[in-house]
Amino acid sequence: MHRGWCLPVFILLVVYGFYINLQIRITNPLWNQVHHNLLSPSECAAISSIILKKSLKSIEANTYRRYVKDLQRCPWEYNQTEHDLLKLKFGSCCNASHFLIVTQQNAPLGHQLQYETNAKKVEVSEKLHQMLPKVMRIFGSQQTSPFTTKPLNTCAVVGNGGILQNSFCGSEIDKMDFVFRFNLPPLTIAEDIGTKSDFVSANPSILVKRFQKLQESRKQFISLVKGYGSAMIALPAFSYVHNTDVAFRVLHSVQDFDLPNQAVFLHPEYLKNISIYWKENGLKVKRLSSGLMLITAAIELCKKVTLYGFWPFPLDPQGKQVPHHYYDNIKPKPGFHFMPEEFHFYAKMHLKGTLHLKVGQCH
């Protein structure tokens, strides 16, 4: 008799457990946001119109966060026409496929490289020329430019925003053809940020603060770089004069330790032209973030671009506190960058279908 009750009770418990789990997921706002509760076409059109037509300053902060939250409940569609138009503009002004990094091709012997932020020039000597890439490898192919031979169908541009915490975007990022990362980020939460890296920028200020300009022990720096696999390490060696020596030390360190990475230098002409383009198109800031610089390059070089980890506000779309970075809460230097204004441009490009802006959970 006792055994006769076991199976029905077991089945009842399983059914009850499934029901409770389903209720938890359905009432979870993030799960509900992704899987149900999509906004109507008219609601999506209204939000799109506001973001596309209004300036960031004219929208109250809580209202703006709600709009971005609601954008994730509107279907996103890639618009090849809009993307091609923007790609043409970026190609005309800046030409990332040829000028994103300094190569022996665009900086031959004797060439005068002008710094991005001042009139100082440096001549490409034999020593410097040998430091520049001649043949680069991407996906196993050899080419004189890293981006011209094989098309990049899908690219992830991964920011370092605290919004990445508990996003579960790692597996989605790792499936992309090419992954851009910024400022030597620690790859600490793989389920949220992924592990794949193809192009990692390195801000010299980080090399100064965290690695003592590589003038002392380089073990910590080398250990970090090893975590990026064979990714290119890109440095703005010719943005400011004081960046040059530390950028050169990165290149020599990578070579000295026989790492598979290639240290490359962002071309000052490309960075200067990108800055001019965005200022002429309404972005009035002292200096563009490295995020916007490489997003611009990615749009020109890739077919479909998805952004992760870009969120410049202290509260997330749900109104909860979020750290500035997924690994710390150190704020940027005031008045140097204007991340919210840059983010507003990302939202506009998302609405036009030129890039896909991911905010919140991926699963």
337 is catalytic: yes
Name the active-site residue from 337, 344, 350, 363: 337
Pairing state between β 121-123 and 112-114? antiparallel
Maximum distance among all alpha carbons in the chain?
95
Tokens of 186: 């620690």
Q: Residue 361: exposed, middle, or buried by beta-carbon count in 10 A (0-12, 13-18, 19+)? A: middle
Q: Which helix (H) or strand (E) holds 302?
A: strand 302-308
Q: What is the dihedral of CA 55, 56, 62, 64, to 10 degrees?
A: 70
Contacts of 318 (CB under 8 A, 6+ apart): 29, 30, 69
With beta carbons less than 8 A apart as the criterion, state whether 177 and 201 touch.
no
**Nearest to residue 274, comparing CAs of 148, 91, 82, 81?**
91
Distance of CA 170 to the CA centre of its chain: 13
Q: b/e map of 317-354 (b: 16 or more CB within 10 Å)?
A: beeeebbbbbbeeeeeeeeebbbebbbbbbbbbbbbbb
Collapsing DSSP to helix, strand or coil, 337 comes out as: coil
Which residues have a catalytic role annotated? Answer: 337
